[in-house]
Structure 1
């Protein structure tokens, strides 16, 4: 596999960081809706979609790590 694989701990940190980013996106969504700014709303929606995709990818990788039974995957 050509991509660098991460340890379970770093995967959890990435997941937490990604989830923490949702606070900012939610705030941007609310502000854009209140201001009626379609462009900011579109930007916030795209950012939210990126967060959802990132969480899905991290979750899939954590499942693979847990299936292997190892906490750290080889480089």
Structure 2
């Protein structure tokens, strides 16, 4: 199996999905900073952009969670 095929398989594995969840959730930090800055500067446009970004993160996490369920993850914390 080539390295490229292994990498493609990792993306659809449980550990790959967990890694995707972690990196997606890490985006929350940047969005929170943007919200705080936008509120301090009363910049409505940046605030709206941050809220839309937060919605995209939530949607991405929901999709990844669904993928974990499809993979048959029986983790008690996610159950």
**Higher RCO (Cα < 8 Å, 6 or more apart):** 1
Q: Which runs of 5+ in 2 are unaligned?
A: 1-8, 75-79
2:63 to 57, 65, 72: 57
Number of equivalenced pairs:
65
Q: Which runs of 5+ in 1 are unaligned?
A: 70-75
Instruction: Extract structure 1 runs of 4+ deviating beyond 6 A.
Output: none
TM-score (norm 1): 0.80
Query: RMSD between aligned alpha carbons?
Result: 1.8
Matched, 1:20 2:32: no
Hey, what's the Cα distance between the residues in 2 that align with 1:32 and 1:44? 9
